[in-house]
Structure 1
Amino acid sequence: MRNREAILAVLRDVLPKEGLLLEIASGSGEHAAFMAPLLAPLLWQPSDYEAEALPSIDAHAADSGATNIRPALRIDVTAADWPVAKADALLCCNMIHIAPWAAAEGLVAGAARVLSAADAPLILYGPFKRNGQHTAPSNVAFDDSLKARNPGWGVRCLDFEVAPLAARQGFIRMQAVEMPANNLTVIFRRG
């Protein structure tokens, strides 16, 4: 939540004014509760893999008073079918480094299936390596702690892992916006 204003500023520049934003890995639902009311009339569809997260997401949505947040859905990004068939934008914050690589692969493949318009953005937020190198000492320590918890986790390289993965599904990296706390917001669109 510490970067929510910075993320919102980027979203205001790249999201469509109307339609459906699908958020993958919504966690507690705080991003939706904060940002969705400020992005209306755009509809916000939160989701998470963990079924236990869904009540928290819905509670935060209710507390926000927003009328443009849909009830949270359980989505396994590695599944061939998602409960959302079409979206106008997809946002995923802080997931691909705290999940096995198969989750990143599933996320991008799913985005290719559900993003309907050629200019529909796939937006990723979190820590990334650039050109194979960490961008800050704090990200080195974070990467080490992730790998200690699960060897399949870790800070991914935007240039050598994430962008090529996106390219294989027809996405081109349009923008990588520097964010506070050594994170990036990366915007992909169909090539």
Structure 2
Amino acid sequence: MDHLPFSPACENNKDTILAHLRQEFADGVRGVLEIGSGTGQHALWFASHLPWLTWQPTEIPQSLATLAPRCAASALDNLLAPQPLDVSDAPWPLPVPDAVFTANTLHIMAMSAVEAFFQGLHRHAPDGCRLVVYGPFNYDGKPTSPSNAQFDASLRARSAHSGIRDFEAVDSLAEAAGFRRQADHAMPANNRLIIWRRRQA
């Protein structure tokens, strides 16, 4: 698969994330909807190491060409064919299963899309749904490291709508969507892995 689209960040963080997913998804989770699957490296790695899960990778329509080749080259029965999904669409074209996973997406999306993401979860996620978000966050309005401050500046220089999100704002959106935070794990390279769970109706 050397010729396929490749993300060094995915390669560097996949094992650390997997350790948490293996624990979080061990009890009662049978299907995962991944938002913004990128090159498909995470989808392939997690599906291969969590064989009891059905993993559904998705991307915005214009990025499916980056995601599709790696998924097509896989022989995994539990890795589904990638599907188009824009979180700003209403309703979403796919059902939300037991869990939703997304990595390094919220700081790329416009804040309006982050809000739409949680609105979509509010509409579609079942009771008990786990939400796992990986990426950098600011806390108390401040970056957690000089490297994150530099990364945020580079994001905003490339696109006015991008930027590292404030944890408190995202947690508030999750709460409004019916999700209660379960864990906030420090990860390598000044990233976080935050887990929410939808409350029972």
Bin the TM-score by the shorter chain. over 0.9
Q: How far apart, in 1, do the equivalents of 2:107 and 2:61 lie? A: 16
Alignment-derived partner of residue 57 in structure 2: 46
* Contact residue 71 and residue 82 of structure 2 kept, 8 A: no
Gapped regions of structure 1 (runs ≥ 5): none
* Contact residue 177 and residue 186 of structure 1 kept, 8 A: yes
Q: Report the secondary structure of 2:197's partner residue.
A: strand
Question: Which of 75, 79, 82 is 1:72 aligned to?
Answer: 82
Q: How far apart, in 2, do the equivalents of 1:38 and 1:8 lie? A: 8
Alignment-derived partner of residue 31 in structure 1: 42
* Contact residue 84 and residue 114 of structure 1 kept, 8 A: no
Q: How far apart, in 2, do the equivalents of 1:18 and 1:168 lie? A: 23
Alignment-derived partner of residue 158 in structure 1: 167
Q: How far apart, in 2, do the equivalents of 1:189 and 1:70 lie? A: 24
- Superposition pairs for residues 160-179 of structure 1, below 5 Å? 161-179=169-187
Q: Report the secondary structure of 2:102's partner residue.
A: strand
Q: How far apart, in 2, do the equivalents of 1:98 and 1:185 lie? A: 17
Question: Which of 136, 153, 169 is 1:144 aligned to?
Answer: 153
Q: How far apart, in 1, do the equivalents of 2:28 and 2:49 lie? A: 11
- When the two structures are superposed, what TM-score results if normalisation uses the length of structure 2? 0.88
* Contact residue 29 and residue 99 of structure 2 kept, 8 A: no
Q: State yes or no: 1:83 paired with 2:98.
A: no
Aligned residues: 188
Q: Report the secondary structure of 1:76's partner residue.
A: coil
- Superposition pairs for residues 98-137 of structure 1, below 5 Å? 98-116=108-126, 118-137=127-146
Cα-Cα RMSD: 1.5
